[in-house]
Amino acid sequence: MKTQNKKLLAIYKELFKKHNYQGWWPIKGKYHPQDYSYPKNENEIFEIIIGSILTQNTNWKNTEKALQNLREENIISPEKIIKISHEELSELIKSSGYFNQKTKKLKAFTEFYIKSEGKIPTREELLKVWGVGKETADSILLYAYKQPYFVIDTYTKRFMKKYFNIDNDYDKLQDLFHNALPQDYKLFNEFHALIVAEGKNLR
């Protein structure tokens, strides 16, 4: 275990040297490298949550197109997501794929978000929301709420297979990161973003 921990930290340093600060999560299409003050308000938190749901089973380019459509129509707010019709919302997020399902997910989560009244949700609460799995819950906690939960996505699984040759079990992989690294959301944020940057070159 100690050997794995040292190796993971060494890889992080290598990736950082190669790719530098990433600035995830982008807000309104803009990255903010080395500035961990984002999100700065409820609107930015909600935008990240919307993006976390839209990016399920698609790439960020398609997600960003859907987000841009929502921005142009000034729809990225809990009140407007609730009020807009299923058909209208589906059309706006079409580029993200599975748009009918994602429309239902957005509305279900928005109802949960409004009831939360600005409180940071627990992981258990998020996982009870229809359409929210472990990866989405952890993305929301890490990037929207600055909580130290490492995101295990396709890039992370591919990365761990290459460097550690271990299986794709979500909880086991997450435990490895949580046990090896300081519980610092900034570190988790940067490391995951670096894995994504590196992962684009891994096959």
Instruction: Please report the pLDDT score of residue 202 as a whole number.
Output: 60
Structure tokens at 36: 């961990």
Burial of residue 192 (number of CB atoms within 10 Å: 0-12, 13-18, 19+): buried
Q: Which CATH number fits domain 42-144: 1.10.3680.10, 1.20.950.20, 1.10.340.30, 3.40.50.2300?
A: 1.10.340.30
- The predicted-structure confidence for 133-166, as pLDDT tens digits, reads as follows 999 999 999 999 999 999 999 999 999 988 888 8
Q: Mean per-residue pLDDT for 77-93? A: 97
pLDDT of residue 2: 66
Query: Pick from 154, 150, 165, 145: which is nearest to 36 by CA?
Result: 145
What per-residue confidence (pLDDT) applies to 166? 82
If 0-12 CB within 10 Å is exposed, 13-18 middle and 19+ buried, where does residue 164 land? middle
For residue 159, what are its two tokens?
């990365």
* Residue linked to tokens 């707010």: 77
**Residue 4's pLDDT is what?**
74
Residue 75 has pLDDT above 90, yes or no: yes
Angle at 122 between CA 119 and CA 128, to 5 degrees: 110
Provide DSSP, 64-116.
HHHHHHHHHTT--SHHHHHHS-HHHHHHHTGGGSSHHHHHHHHHHHHHHHHHH
The model's pTM: 0.95
Q: Is residue 28 scored above 70 in pLDDT?
A: yes
Give 105's contacts (C-beta < 8 A, 6+ positions apart). Answer: 53, 56, 130, 131, 132
CA distance 149 to 137: 9
Cβ atoms of residues 54 and 83 within 8 Å:
no
pLDDT at 203: 54
- Of the ranges 1-10, 37-46, 139-148, which one carries the lowest mean pLDDT score? 1-10
Residue 141: the pLDDT is 98
User: Measured between alpha carbons, how far is 4 from 164 in angstroms, rounded to an integer?
Assistant: 8
Separation between Cα atoms, residue 95 and residue 197, nearest integer Å: 22
Q: Could you tell me the pLDDT band of residue 200, with boundaries at 50, 70 and 90?
A: confident
